Amino acid sequence: MEARLAMWNILERHVPAPSVAYCYDLWERYQFDFVVTRPRHTRLGDFTAKPNQRERITVNNNLNPYNFLITYLHEIAHLEVYRSYKRRQPPHGKAWKTHFRALLLPTLNEQTFPTSILSPLTLYSHNPTASTGTFLPLMQAIKNVDAPHSDLVMVSELSEGQAFRLQQKVFIRGTQRRTRIVCIEKTSQKKYLVAAHAWVERL
């Protein structure tokens, strides 16, 4: 009983109110371990499965309710694929896209999402990618909810060769590799992979 109440309370704090019951029902159905974690620069959430253990889903605690919901469903889609096919499917292949699209469908309404997010999210759901950060209209809409007057931009919005600041260090934006971008730290000249959806200060 305590675990159920704790899960309900977590969802009430982190997802849009109309989606709390839906998200809770998914947790009840699959009985996975759920952890809200500190912010991570390389991912918004993740899914892990180990033999003889309950599956584990994590989502970053700094996401706004709409981004949190999308990420939560993204990871549950991984869980569904894992239980259906084990590891015989690519991580973000056809099976995952099908499951994620089906999980998103009940939330694609104006009660759950503002129109500014609902429109690009509906387009994104037709062919979802590994990271929402690669679909700029959706990430821009989410950014506008977080900080409508912020000067921060996503790394993916910068052009190659453009400088930016992240965690007090200056980087040069390089080429994109799927969901991450190769960037060079200006002082050391070391290469780093930065998530395409990472918010940075344009220089």
- Give the CATH number for residue 167: 2.30.30
Q: What is the DSSP letter of 120?
A: H
Are 28 and 52 in the same domain? yes
**For 108-115, what is the mean pLDDT?**
97
Residues 52 and 20 in one domain: yes
Q: Answer yes or no: is pLDDT of 135 > 80.
A: yes
Look at the chain and report how many structural domains it folds into. Answer: 2
Q: How would residue 154 be classed by pLDDT, with cut points 50, 70 and 90?
A: confident
Mean pLDDT for 80-106 is 90
Final residue of a structural domain among 130, 146, 162 = 146
- Does this model's pTM top 0.85? My answer is no
Same domain, 139 and 194: no
- Of the pLDDT bands very low, low, confident and very high (cuts 50, 70, 90), residue 143 is confident
Domain region containing 137:
2-146
Question: SS3 sequence, 26-80?
Answer: HHHHHCCEEEEECCCCCCCEEEECCCCCCCEEEEECCCCHHHHHHHHHHHHHHHH
Q: Do 38 and 138 have their domain in common? A: yes
Please tell me whether residues 54 and 92 are part of one structural domain: yes
Once rounded to an integer, what is the mean pLDDT over residues 66-91?
A: 91
Res. 149: pLDDT tops 80 = no
